[in-house]
């Protein structure tokens, strides 16, 4: 942590001595005769005196002259399409901003996570405001620029210490595709275990077990606002990273980093997620009949096989484009009697079959739609298998052996994800 002198006004306000400001090493002229630099947690965004603000924004936009600006979103005046910037561990990849303090040996660096504000979905704006011509202070450092910075107000020695993004990691909203940075933290995780018993009652609820020193990222709560239900309090990472939940549980308990997922289609009964080597104790009549295919990290293609529906049509309901009147369709154990969809995987000897319950979605009592959405011409992946297609399928992610197993619809086996031996709630 680096320290600089801290001054306190008669009103109890905190000031620091900013000698210069740089954007990618290019100096922003400061009006030294206008007030000082105040730190305010009640000011949302950093406010600059107008002449400083004009020079600041001019240099910043010059650094990004290869990227076109888009119409600004109030109260900001410099905005961009967020897709134009690469994502880094410290936020959007934009020019860094240096505040040179005190004797110029201390520099407070502001990276993209603190300089760019997501004003709207897909819109990033420079999070600094024009304070006008007649301001009391030349710079007021606001709360947004203080986020995820450890700031030590040492009132006894009249100094301020700062540490940029103490241990920052990126986290994201998988629905809205928004990302942000947060600080790596540590706590104790409690999770329900199961106890293997006998062939008649293969498993039963076990004690709650704890994982000490569990690592997670404290993401800003605003990251969960778009696209996720109000009750969602966080997002669990299930990938092949060192701090993903399967990896940490496997490391602590000594099993392989594998997990099984079973999403229920019922609003009343929960599904489950199981961490461990063998998911057969949960649905013993299903697990031995699962099909497996290699699991890869990266872009892969899948083959679709689907017949043209012959049932009566209905007006489409967004975001879907193909809809039908369900009254003209008979019901089966696998859902509405629509043509099955086969995902032919691996060596083409394995097919993941989607029946009507997974291929169609009821959007209205009198309208069922094909539950596939147009991803556009240049998506990151050719196919993204969504949550609706995963419902009532037991899916086993065997990360140790790099393979994935799937059961296809449990309805065809006269069971469901909510009909497991014992609850192991996600």
The pTM of the full predicted model, rounded to 2 decimals, is 0.56
Please tell me the distance from the alpha carbon of residue 343 to that of residue 366, in angstroms, as a whole number: 28
pLDDT at 306 (0 to 100): 34
Query: What's residue 294's pLDDT?
Result: 86
Task: Provide DSSP, 173-196.
Answer: -TTT--EEEEEEEEEEEEEEEEEE
Report the share of the chain in percent with pLDDT over 70. Answer: 85
Q: 46 in a domain, yes or no?
A: yes
Mapped onto helix, strand or coil, the DSSP state of residue 38 is strand
Find the CATH number of the domain harbouring 130: 2.40.70.10
The answer to the question of residue 316 being in a domain is no
- Domain presence at residue 138: yes
Query: How many domains does one find in the chain?
Result: 1
In a domain, 88, yes or no: yes
Q: Which of 373, 305, 381, 380 is nearest to 343 (CA)?
A: 305
pLDDT band at 426 (very low <50, low <70, confident <90, very high): very low
Distance CA 29, CA 32 (A): 9
Residue 288 falls inside a structural domain: no
Mean pLDDT of 184-190: 84
Q: pLDDT tens digits for 93-120?
A: 899 998 988 766 678 889 999 999 999 9
Least confident segment among 156-170, 213-227, 338-352? 156-170
The domain of 61 spans 2-166
Residue 421 has pLDDT above 90, yes or no: no
Q: 318-366, pLDDT tens digit by residue?
A: 789 899 998 888 888 888 888 889 888 876 778 888 999 999 999 988 9
Q: Is 44 within a domain?
A: yes
pLDDT at position 223: 80
Answer with the residue of higher pLDDT: 20 or 279.
Answer: 20
Query: Partners of 7 in the beta sheet?
Result: 15
**Tokens representing 88?**
């880094």
């Amino acid at each position: 942590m680096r320290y600089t002198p801290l001054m306190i006004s008669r009103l109890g306000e905190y000031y620091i001595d900013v000698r210069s400001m740089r954007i990618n090493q290019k100096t922003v002229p400061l009006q030294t005769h206008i007030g000082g630099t105040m730190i305010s947690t009640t000011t949302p965004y950093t406010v600059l005196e107008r002449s400083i603000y004009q020079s600041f924004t001019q240099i910043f936009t010059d650094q990004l002259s290869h990227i076109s600006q888009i119409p600004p979103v109030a109260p900001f005046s410099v905005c961009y399409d967020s897709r134009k910037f690469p994502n880094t561990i410290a936020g959007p990849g934009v020019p860094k901003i240096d505040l040179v303090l005190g004797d110029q040996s201390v520099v407070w660096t502001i990276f993209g996570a603190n300089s760019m504000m997501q004003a709207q979905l897909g819109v990033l704006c420079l999070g600094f405001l024009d304070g006008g011509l007649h301001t009391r202070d030349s710079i007021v450092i606001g709360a947004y620029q203080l986020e995820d910075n450890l700031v030590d107000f040492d009132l006894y020695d009249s100094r301020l210490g700062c540490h940029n993004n103490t241990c920052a990691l990126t986290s994201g909203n998988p629905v809205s595709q928004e990302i942000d940075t947060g600080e790596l933290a540590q706590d104790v995780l409690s999770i329900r275990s199961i106890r293997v018993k006998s062939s008649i009652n293969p498993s039963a609820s076990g004690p709650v077990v704890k994982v000490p020193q569990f690592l997670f990222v404290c993401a800003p709560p605003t990251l969960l606002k778009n696209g996720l239900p109000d009750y969602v309090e966080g997002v669990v990472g299930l990938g092949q990273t060192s701090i993903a939940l399967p990896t940490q549980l496997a490391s602590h308990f000594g099993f392989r980093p594998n997990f099984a997922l079973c999403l229920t289609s019922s609003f009343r009964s929960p599904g489950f997620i199981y961490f461990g080597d063998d998911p057969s104790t949960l649905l013993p009549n299903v697990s031995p009949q699962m099909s497996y295919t290699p699991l890869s990290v990266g872009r892969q293609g899948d083959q679709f096989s689907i017949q043209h529906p012959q049932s009566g049509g209905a007006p489409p309901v967004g975001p879907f484009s193909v809809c039908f009147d369900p009254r003209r369709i008979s019901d089966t154990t696998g859902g509405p009697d629509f043509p099955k969809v086969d995902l032919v995987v691996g060596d083409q000897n394995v097919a993941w079959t989607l029946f009507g319950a997974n291929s169609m979605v009821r959007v209205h009592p009198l309208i069922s739609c094909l539950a596939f959405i147009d991803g556009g011409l240049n998506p990151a992946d050719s196919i993204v298998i969504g949550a609706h297609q995963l419902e009532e399928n037991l899916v086993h992610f065997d990360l140790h052996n790099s393979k994935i197993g799937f059961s296809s619809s449990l309805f065809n086996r006269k069971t469901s994800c909510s009909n497991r031996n014992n609850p192991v709630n996600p």
